[in-house]
Amino acid sequence: MTPDNGRDENGRIPVIFDTDIGDDIDDTWALVMLLRSPELDLQLALTDHGKADYRARIMARILEIAGRTDVPVGLGVGGHEGTGRQAAWVEDYALADYPGTVHEDGVGAMIEIIMNSPTPVTVICIGPVPNIPAALEREPRIVENARFVGMHGSLRLGYGGSETVSAEYNVRENSAACRAAFEADWDVTITPLDTCGIVTLRGDRYRRIRDSEDPLLQALMENYRAWAAVAERAPNPEERSSTLFDTVAVYLAFSEEHLMMEELPVLVTDDGYTRIDESGVTVRAATGWEDLDAYLDFLVDRLAGAR
């Protein structure tokens, strides 16, 4: 099934990518997947959850390697200071080196893109989303021309397929922002841990990415190795991927094939849980896999540029 999204005259879905890239490595995998998805027209890469300069430098360098300096980079709310586990990869890369546009007011850029788009914009959010309430406060009308697709929550399963639900990181870090995003008057679609928390590449699938001579995939692996060198309990990047939570959010921006979808009332609690509760707001949630193997094959093909 393909979501009933607005598509432009070329059949593409305009998207804004809101990400806390540079913390967990899955955001970087998701960005590469997005850049390899012809269904999606990336109009802004926006930093989320502080560390704006560090996050923006990672995205800018990846966009440059991908030959996509037409994509503007926006600095989101939460401050510019701080680095993270992929800092070694951008140690010698300054944001001023980026040949494309850099918006100091990333939230303002997001609002302008949504308000001026002739086609509804899909906002793919894979972080704690402080940019969303900031944008809603400045221009509530963005909900009239946008939809929200996020990697958020834990409904029936927790991390790694655990039967114990979790206070998922993106929600727990800023439950008020997540609640504002869910309660806004736009369509909300999420991949909770129930589906995204079990996505890992191993064996031949993984080796196809690890051993590729494609410059973009080599950049991805450089980032993964830099991340794994300093991350606690990181997998061995020579053997398998980490959990690729955020790739499922990118996928949901243009397809629901291979997934089981439910419309559920979801209540965001102050301590970061997403409870199925009649007092909550209705969201469309990917709660299970019809065919996880088919998705993994698709993911590898897409990352490799094969389809």
Is residue 287 assigned to a domain?
A: yes
User: So what's the pLDDT on residue 166?
Assistant: 97
8 Å CB contact between 55 and 293: no
As a whole number of angstroms, the distance between CA 238 and CA 19 comes to 26
As a whole number of angstroms, the distance between CA 183 and CA 260 comes to 23
The pairing of strands 259-268 and 274-276 is antiparallel
Which structural domain, as residue segments, surrounds residue 190? Answer: 13-303
As a whole number of angstroms, the distance between CA 245 and CA 47 comes to 18
In the three-class reduction of DSSP (H, G, I as helix; E, B as strand; rest coil), residue 2 is classed as: coil
User: Number of helices (H) and strands (E), helices first, in the chain?
Assistant: 11, 10
Residues in the chain: 307
Is residue 1 assigned to a domain?
A: no
Is residue 201 assigned to a domain?
A: yes
Is residue 6 assigned to a domain?
A: no
Report the CATH number at residue 177: 3.90.245.10
Is residue 103 assigned to a domain?
A: yes
Instruction: Give the neighbor-by-neighbor strand order of the sheet with 188-190.
Output: 102-103, 73-74, 40-47, 13-19, 121-125, 146-150, 188-190, 281-289, 259-268, 274-276
User: So what's the pLDDT on residue 9?
Assistant: 76
Is residue 228 assigned to a domain?
A: yes
Is residue 2 assigned to a domain?
A: no
DSSP symbol at 1 = -
For 73, phi then psi, to 5°, come to -110, 135
C-alpha dihedral sign at 77, 62, 231, 54: negative
Nearest residue to 109 via CA among 167, 66, 56, 170: 56
Structure-token pair, residue 251: 């996928």
First to last CA, the chain: 17
pLDDT of the chain, 307 residues: tens digit per residue: 455 567 887 899 999 999 999 999 999 999 999 999 999 999 999 999 999 999 999 999 999 999 999 999 999 999 999 999 999 999 999 999 999 999 999 999 999 999 999 999 999 999 999 999 999 999 999 999 999 999 999 999 999 999 999 999 999 999 999 999 999 999 999 999 999 999 999 999 999 999 999 999 999 999 999 999 999 999 999 999 999 999 999 999 999 999 999 999 999 999 999 999 999 999 999 999 999 999 999 999 999 998 7
Counting the structural domains of the chain, the total is 1
Could you tell me if residue 64 is left (phi over 0), alpha (psi between -120 and 50 degrees) or otherwise beta?
A: alpha
Question: What is the Cβ-side half-sphere exposure of residue 38, based on CA atoms within 13 angstroms?
Answer: 8
Is residue 203 assigned to a domain?
A: yes
8 Å CB contact between 135 and 110: yes
CA 123 to chain centre: 9
Cα torsion through 26, 27, 31, 37, rounded to 10:
60
